[in-house]
Amino acid sequence: MELNCASKLKEVGRLTEGQLALVMASFTEENQGAISQFCDVIIQTSQPRPNQNKPAKTFSNKQLAIEAVNQMEKALRVYEANDFIDDWTLSFNVGIDFQPLSLPELLQHHKQLDATEKNCDKIKLLICYEKGRVYTRFKEIYAGEFTNLCNQLILDSKTVNRYIEFFNLSSSFPRMIICGINFTDIMNLSKEIVQLLSANQGLRMRLATPLKGLTVKADLKVGSEMLPHGKEQLREFSSSYDWKSGWVLADNL
């Protein structure tokens, strides 16, 4: 049916504008209006649709580093506001039933998740610092056999050196740990961040200030029925996005 209609329309398309005008003149106004609407539908439907997904903006490492330094400045203002021991409590619920929750309750749940995520990021950086400190000591002890030691520990030497570099960086700027920049972004932008800090003595000195004391609390027990169980059908996943590293910073630009 579709091919037959397409063939007939193609045949009509071979007529000149004058020939079409003569044919249309023989139709009633009602038929002319119907044909005109039909043509409008064909023209509109055949128009190329604009791409709904806007091309992702790309940013240089320098631009991302500037955003990272701005974020450090904001985080330090909050951190420096008091001398209290920093609280990195991990407290959140998983798999709760959203149906009976009101909007304020959902917002409170999101606030709890957001706070826990930020604390997890800081804990991760503290762990990376300590791993870098351990690897630095390994390197001092096994200077000539470090590569062999990495092999025994099933560690890539590049990975080890990355942690060592983070240890060096965070030893120079301890308060970078509480600034909300993740390990991947810090290491990816480390060169640019250090260059920016070298031109900003005030921020450099604030980041070099020792961390306050902190507490880490966590008491989370989750039954398997509340965790992802893989019984649902595969959810739609868009392949049109490019989730590169640095997206947390790029989303703010």
Reported as a single tens digit per residue, the pLDDT across 208-232 is: 999 999 999 887 878 887 777 766 5
State the burial class of residue 249 (Cβ atoms within 10 Å of its Cβ: 0-12, 13-18, 19+). buried
Count H helices and E strands in the chain, helices first. 11, 2
Report the 10 Å Cβ neighbour count for 44.
8
Radius of gyration of the chain (CA): 31
What predicted TM-score, i.e. pTM, was given to this entire model?
Answer: 0.70
pLDDT exceeds 60 at position 52: no
Handedness of CA 235, 238, 244, 245 (dihedral sign): negative
How far is Cα 79 from Cα 214, in angstroms, rounded to an integer?
12
pLDDT confidence of residue 92: 87
Selected residue with higher pLDDT from 101 and 38: 101
Beta bridge partners of 218: 90
pLDDT confidence of residue 191: 94
Q: Please, which pLDDT band fits residue 53 given cuts at 50, 70 and 90?
A: low
pLDDT confidence of residue 202: 95
How far is Cα 159 from Cα 145, in angstroms, rounded to an integer?
16
Q: What average pLDDT does this structure show over 83-93?
A: 90
Strand ranges for the chain from DSSP E: 86-87, 214-215
pLDDT exceeds 80 at position 37: no
- Is the CB of residue 115 less than 8 Å from the CB of residue 93? no
Report the 10 Å Cβ neighbour count for 127.
12
pLDDT confidence of residue 246: 63
Q: What average pLDDT does this structure show over 7-12?
A: 70
Q: What average pLDDT does this structure show over 45-61?
A: 67
Range in 8-12, 56-60, 77-81, 131-135 the model is least confident about: 8-12
Q: Please, which pLDDT band fits residue 189 given cuts at 50, 70 and 90?
A: very high
pLDDT confidence of residue 248: 67
Range in 114-118, 145-149, 236-240 the model is least confident about: 236-240
- Is the CB of residue 175 less than 8 Å from the CB of residue 207? yes
Q: Tokens for 110?
A: 């999101």
Q: Give me the helix-helix angle, 157-172 and 190-198, nearest 10°.
A: 20
pLDDT exceeds 70 at position 125: yes
Q: Tokens for 20?
A: 């079409």
pLDDT exceeds 60 at position 244: yes
In single-letter form, the type of residue at position 52 comes to Q
How far is Cα 90 from Cα 181, in angstroms, rounded to an integer?
18
Q: Give percent of the chain with pLDDT exceeding 70.
A: 83
In single-letter form, the type of residue at position 101 comes to L
pLDDT confidence of residue 240: 59
